[in-house]
A and B are shown apart, each in its own frame.
Chain A
């Protein structure tokens, strides 16, 4: 069965304290690993797509990496405005399989 898991479920960081979020997947025929940010009461905001193991993408304080079994979202020197739920998803057929998300809180 295609599955996506994320860890940790919740993460509290002090401002400036770097960390990583994990997304593990068991999807055959992967055609993309996607990262989204979701703020409360809003739709997910697209961050990155990764297609092949070894690929990396960066945007401001965020860097996403991909291996054959998992993806990491590295957050460098986070700020309070980075607080959100981060969702990863893989696709099977036409559709997405979403992970449960990691709720990130960055304290000033």
Chain B
């Protein structure tokens, strides 16, 4: 149980283009989903928190117009990196939480984004 998938697992795009990453909770409904970014040999950095049907809450320093988050259903959240630049190259990981007093987060396998 508590499986989270991400698609794609890796993507290469050209500078200036947009990339969409999907995060799905496969066997549970997630009241809240989170998006993280991780640089090599560093811990996870929270980018934003999204609740189904609501606008995402972005962490300080994260550009909400660049990183568009949509949480359209209890099992799907998407992160769109708009007008990507090489400095956006990173490992993006989503997580999902059941809620209702259960604070455990279950993570997807991550998406490696390379912007050329």
By a beta-carbon cutoff of 8 Å, the part of chain A in contact with chain B is: 31-32, 34, 36, 41-46, 49, 87, 91, 94-96, 98-101
Instruction: Give Cα A96–Cα B34 distance, bound, in whole angstroms.
Output: 10
Mask for B87-114, Cβ within 8 A of A = 1, else 0? Answer: 0000101010000000111111110100
Given contacts A31-B103, A98-B44, 9 further A-B contacts (CB under 8 A): A32-B103, A43-B4, A46-B107, A49-B103, A91-B103, A95-B46, A96-B34, A99-B43, A100-B43
Whether A46 pairs with B103 at a CB distance below 8 angstroms is no
Whether B110 pairs with A42 at a CB distance below 8 angstroms is yes
Instruction: Report how many residues on chain B are interfacial, defined by Cβ distance under 8 Å.
Output: 22
Instruction: Give Cα A95–Cα B50 distance, bound, in whole angstroms.
Output: 11
Instruction: Give Cα A34–Cα B110 distance, bound, in whole angstroms.
Output: 19
Which chain B positions have C-beta within 8 A of A91?
Answer: 103
Whether B46 pairs with A96 at a CB distance below 8 angstroms is yes
Whether A101 pairs with B103 at a CB distance below 8 angstroms is no
Whether A46 pairs with B104 at a CB distance below 8 angstroms is yes
Any chain A CB within 8 A of the CB of B13? no
CB distance from A93 to the nearest CB of B (A): 9
Any chain A CB within 8 A of the CB of B32? yes
Instruction: Give Cα A31–Cα B103 distance, bound, in whole angstroms.
Output: 8
Which chain A positions have C-beta within 8 A of B34?
Answer: 95-96
Instruction: Give Cα A43–Cα B103 distance, bound, in whole angstroms.
Output: 18
